[in-house]
Amino acid sequence: MEFDDIKNLITEKFGVSAIVEEQSGGLQHALIINPDQIASVCLELRNNEQTYFDFLSCLTGVDYGVEENKFGVVYHLASIPFKSQLTLKVIKEHDRNAEKSPSFQSVSHVWKTAEWHEREAYDLFGILFEGNPDLRRILLPDDWEGYPLRKDYVAADEYKGIKIS
């Protein structure tokens, strides 16, 4: 199934509001999906016999910068039987002064491996994934302060008496 066919399939199933934007620059086209529909879209793309995106090869967080006040998640999907790939993105504005972290729907019920990918995005960007059954730090100690891949992160001088350079 070609990229335009996938776009049409999503639009027919979920309506025109499901796809917020299409990004055609770069090596691979991407669809920016309405954040409220990402889990449903992913489930459809996995279960649909025409697409069968059975493999979530990568999921990562994105901090679009302090000026933009936006966070996102990028999903790299693959269909092993059809030898095809697809990139999906979700983007939300987020007030950095708010006490709550940015949040998106978990896709861990679609692909089990998403549990680990989402934990990594949480650990490094502070992105919450609603519905992830085990959202906790995975790379950093549980008591680490902040999220190192955020654009506004200020590195600590030391951790438990150990100098950080």
pLDDT digits (tens, 9 = 90+) for 38-89: 999 999 999 999 999 999 999 999 999 999 999 999 999 999 999 999 999 9
How many domains is the chain built from? Answer: 1
Task: Say how many C-beta atoms besides its own lie within 10 A of residue 7's C-beta.
Answer: 15
Strand, helix or coil for residue 76: strand
165 has a pLDDT exceeding 80: no
116 assigned to some structural domain: yes
The residue type at 80: I
The answer to the question of residue 163 being in a domain is no
| Residue 67 located in a structural domain | yes
Average model confidence (pLDDT) across the chain: 96
Write out the residue range of the structural domain in which residue 37 sits: 3-150
Tokens of 123: 């650990």
Residue 151, both tokens:
């654009």
Evaluate if residue 27 carries a pLDDT over 90.
Answer: no
The verdict on residue 161 lying in a domain is no
Tell me what percent of the residues of the chain surpass a pLDDT of 90. 88
Residue 22 CB neighbours (<10 A):
12
CATH number, residue 108 = 3.30.460.80
Residue 36 covered by a domain: yes
| Domain annotation covers residue 53 | yes
Does the residue 164 lie in any domain? no
Per residue in 111-131, pLDDT (tens digit) is: 999 999 999 999 999 999 999
Q: Six-digit token pair at 87?
A: 């990139």
- 114 domain-assigned: yes
pLDDT of residue 106: 98
Give the pLDDT score at 135. 97
In total, the chain counts a number of residues equal to 165
